[in-house]
Amino acid sequence: MGTRGAASKFATGALWLAVVAVATCCGTATDKQSRTSFSPVLAYATTAGVFLSDGSGVARQVAPLTGGAAAAHLTWSPDGRFLAWQRYGDSSGARLEVLDVQKMQPTILPADISSGPARVGSQFVALDSSGHLLVVTLASGGKVAARTADLQLGSQTASPITDAELIGAAPTAAVVAVPTAQATPYGGPSTIYLVGLDGKSTGYASEEQLSHGSELDNIRPGWGATASSTGQFIFRSGTRATGCTSESHLETLSTGAVGLSSGPALPRISPPSAHWRVLSVYQDLDGALHMSAVAEPASCGSTDLQPNVWSWTSGEWRLVQSGAIWSSQSADRSQTATLLGQIADDHGSIAFGAPATLVVVSRGGQTKTLSTTATEAEWRPHSTQ
């Protein structure tokens, strides 16, 4: 989903390495017995905090969100031991927070971050607001070590590169977008980079390689996901269609011979004058590619648009859930979690309206509502369950 930025309080320069102190939040399990008896399978964020829920729907708050704070980009480590997210919106700016699930202890990293986190291999990555790649290593015993690396992005010679944005991760590299000089208030064309953990780009391709009509009106690339079957990174992009609507489509970054191509064609839409607006692209735990999208009429004044979730299956998009912003199955496929809600059309910009309702449905049809103020959710990997 979205990323946020904050003013930099971080010095630019060479690599740094630090093991940061652990900050323990209220509302967490602290005694040994409660820690060992609680086995979470789902993480989710609400307007009140970040929560973990077990298979029966029992939930615990692991990090409160107060003073206007919010959480974005819930990201699990491959083994499910750690959970990371971006904390933003309060007086401390945007921070990367990492939770040791075994100890129920969160670590708040000191760097201001502008986008992320994502996961590359077994490590978390983000971009800090000083234009550096932040790499978080998860050590045995629950220690969290962080370092930064200067971005070195092909022909981008300026340092630091403060307008770069992390839009996801390929299997062995971060995916970073940098707008061109023709950027507009709505985005503009960008160059997409694959970036190694040393900050150096391993390959890049310009979004201008594709023809999207007026390049000056391009929507800045959105958060994407890697299709496990092809290893290709797929993300949202598009054009400003009229004064109040935005047409979206999908693009593909080939991670072998780096280059851009059109992504999976969107489903047919009626009437022909309407536009698809892709809200997000994400991957299920089993590797299936999903997207959330709304069919937006060409006329102005549309509000409370209903999104739908689609799955890319056997070469076509299949409707998974109507009225949903996100829907995904648990690792053992015994439960499906869904965020139900609408979006508000604020003159062409995507703005989520009222927080969504998070519902979990078991294979037998039992339904449990975990929250009516949820903003996102993410299942825990299977290796820990």
Q: Is 66 exposed, middle or buried (0-12, 13-18, 19+ CB in 10 A)?
A: exposed
pLDDT at 337: 95
pLDDT at 75: 96
pLDDT at 190: 85
Taking residue 285's Cβ as centre, other Cβ atoms within 10 Å add up to 17
Question: Is residue 56 assigned to a domain?
Answer: no
Taking residue 368's Cβ as centre, other Cβ atoms within 10 Å add up to 16
Cβ atoms of 129 and 6 closer than 8 Å: yes
Question: Is residue 375 assigned to a domain?
Answer: no
pLDDT at 175: 95
SS3 216: helix
Contacts of 259 (CB under 8 A, 6+ apart): 205, 209, 253
Cβ atoms of 343 and 353 closer than 8 Å: yes
The total of structural domains in the chain comes to: 1
Q: What is the pLDDT of residues 84-101, one digit of tens each?
A: 999 998 888 899 999 999
φ, ψ for residue 142, nearest 5 deg: 90, 5
Residue 7 token pair: 């003013």
SS3 157: coil
Question: Is residue 117 assigned to a domain?
Answer: no
| Stretches in the chain below the pLDDT threshold 50 | 1-35, 213-215, 345-353, 384-385
Question: Is residue 64 assigned to a domain?
Answer: no
pLDDT at 353: 44
Q: What is the pLDDT of residues 201-259, one digit of tens each?
A: 988 888 777 655 444 566 778 899 998 878 889 998 887 666 666 778 899 998 888 88
Question: Is residue 8 assigned to a domain?
Answer: no
In which domain, by residue range, is 162 found?
151-263
Question: Is residue 128 assigned to a domain?
Answer: no
Question: Is residue 318 assigned to a domain?
Answer: no
Question: Is residue 231 assigned to a domain?
Answer: yes
